[in-house]
Amino acid sequence: MMTQVSTKATQTLRLIVMSLGQLTVACNIETVYKVVKRSQIHGSGLGLTGMIHLDGQDVIVVDLHRKLFQVPISEKQGYFVIVKNQAADLIAIPVATSPNLMDVLREQVRILPEAYRQSDTLDLVSHVAVVPDGEQTLTIFVLDENTLI
């Protein structure tokens, strides 16, 4: 029985999945520090970034909605998905709706070609997964937390 659990764990990738405009994006669960209710963002509000204070730390907020669609996220309520990059920076991504935990088969996940990443606004995405969603499919873009700031 233990072997089956280990095999299943190695065959799937656990993602925190969230809606961002018309896109579905995700973060690898291993990079997620926590998900919290949205609070006040400090900063000018003119750029892509701001700051929140969480657990005695300053956390950079990156408005990916504004980065991708040139329109700031309009919801004042919602959540922050807080990720940690390789430099150990905490980065908060504001989302309007509650993110979901999803296990995706590793065979459904593909690396995005570097040329595509450089030529599209999705330069902050490293992988893409296409998973069954009822009778249709769901395309999930997996964020590269090291390119967010």
> To the nearest whole percent, how much of the chain has pLDDT over 90?
56
**Domains of the chain by start residue, with CATH:** 26-147 (2.40.50.180)
Alpha-carbon distance 56 to 147, whole Å?
24
Identify the pLDDT of residue 3.
Answer: 46
Q: Is 73 left (phi over 0), alpha (psi -120 to 50) or beta?
A: beta
DSSP annotation of 79 reads: E
Identify the pLDDT of residue 1.
Answer: 46
pLDDT at position 21 over 90: no
pLDDT at position 26 over 70: yes
Cα 146 from chain centroid? 11
Identify the pLDDT of residue 2.
Answer: 45
- Residues 19-34, mean pLDDT to the nearest whole number: 93
pLDDT band at 13 (very low <50, low <70, confident <90, very high): very high
Q: What is the pTM of this model?
A: 0.85
- 51 CB-side CA count, 13 A: 8
61-105, pLDDT tens digit by residue? 999 888 888 887 766 789 999 999 999 899 999 999 999 999 999
Identify the pLDDT of residue 77.
Answer: 85
98-143, pLDDT tens digit by residue? 999 999 999 999 998 877 777 766 788 899 999 998 899 999 999 9
Identify the pLDDT of residue 121.
Answer: 65
Identify the pLDDT of residue 124.
Answer: 87
